[in-house]
């Protein structure tokens, strides 16, 4: 089961968007790489800022998160922006067995969520996500790595090692990949997390 503390934090602040309402840089980057009307799966969508951004771009969006309180904010944001998305409340670690429409997405996306999935479940999860992807579709992820560890809000993370995420896509085409430090102060203390960001494209299935 996913072990994120953020469901509790969303419920504590029902009127506040902890992560803000503007899209992340990764969402903006990959939105330019997918076709008009693309089907997008946002894994661990939280309060919906990136899902709503994708919907504003005219994409067919499904956002999945374990936090009903986060999804309530996401729906409120979507209504305020005049767009619609499909919200699925459930553990992202269980996506390996969940039905998600016809199971063919142009973009599968996660921003700071899948490192909360226990390592023992991740291989199966990523295989399932890859199987849900259309020919030449994209995956885009940001995950925490173990180069700079900082625990906050009582979270439990199975940190990725550098290169571990890319290894899960050994037979995919890497579009962009980088490792960096990001600033954070969600617990009131300024600190940094090390992250790996990866955008990959599935090879044609007949290649």
CATH of the domain at 38: 3.40.50.150
Give the predicted TM-score (pTM) of the model. 0.92
Q: Note whether 197 and 142 are within 8 A (CB).
A: yes
Q: Is residue 198 part of a domain?
A: no
Q: Does 176 score more than 70 pLDDT?
A: yes
Q: Is residue 176 part of a domain?
A: no
pLDDT of residue 130: 93
Q: Is residue 187 part of a domain?
A: no
From 5-9, 151-155, 159-163, 173-177, the region with the lowest mean pLDDT? 151-155
pLDDT of residue 148: 79
Q: Is residue 191 part of a domain?
A: no
* pLDDT band with cut points at 50, 70 and 90 for residue 8: confident
Q: Is residue 164 part of a domain?
A: no
Q: Does 97 score more than 90 pLDDT?
A: no
Cβ–Cβ contacts within 10 Å for residue 19, how many? 18
pLDDT tens digits, one per residue of 38-95: 999 999 999 999 999 999 999 999 999 999 999 999 999 999 999 999 999 998 887 7
Q: Is residue 30 part of a domain?
A: yes
Q: Does 207 score more than 60 pLDDT?
A: no
Q: Is residue 95 part of a domain?
A: yes
The mean pLDDT value for 147-151 works out to 80
The whole domain housing 21 covers 6-137+144-153
Q: Is residue 57 part of a domain?
A: yes
Q: Does 103 score more than 70 pLDDT?
A: no
The mean pLDDT value for 98-113 works out to 83
If one counts the domains in the chain, the total is 1
* pLDDT band with cut points at 50, 70 and 90 for residue 98: low
pLDDT tens digits, one per residue of 54-67: 999 999 999 999 99
């Amino acid at each position: 089961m996913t072990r994120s503390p953020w469901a509790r934090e969303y419920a504590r602040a029902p009127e506040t968007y902890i992560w803000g309402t503007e899209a992340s840089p990764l969402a903006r980057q990959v939105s330019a790489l997918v076709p008009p009307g693309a089907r997008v799966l946002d894994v661990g969508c939280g309060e919906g800022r990136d899902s709503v951004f994708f919907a504003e771009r005219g994409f067919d969006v499904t956002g999945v998160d374990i936090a009903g309180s986060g999804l309530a904010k996401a729906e409120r944001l979507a209504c305020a922006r005049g767009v619609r998305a499909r919200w699925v409340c459930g553990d992202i670690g269980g996506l390996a067995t969940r039905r998600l429409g016809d199971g063919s997405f142009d973009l599968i996306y996660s921003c700071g969520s899948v490192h909360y999935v226990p390592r023992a479940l991740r291989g199966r999860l990523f295989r399932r996500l890859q199987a849900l992807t259309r020919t030449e579709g994209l995956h885009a992820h940001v995950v925490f790595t173990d180069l700079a560890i900082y625990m906050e809000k009582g979270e439990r993370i199975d940190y990725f090692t550098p290169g571990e995420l890319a290894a899960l896509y050994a037979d995919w085409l890497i579009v962009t990949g980088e490792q960096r430090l990001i600033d954070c102060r969600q617990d009131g203390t300024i600190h940094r997390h090390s992250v790996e960001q990866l955008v990959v494209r599935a090879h044609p299935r007949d290649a």
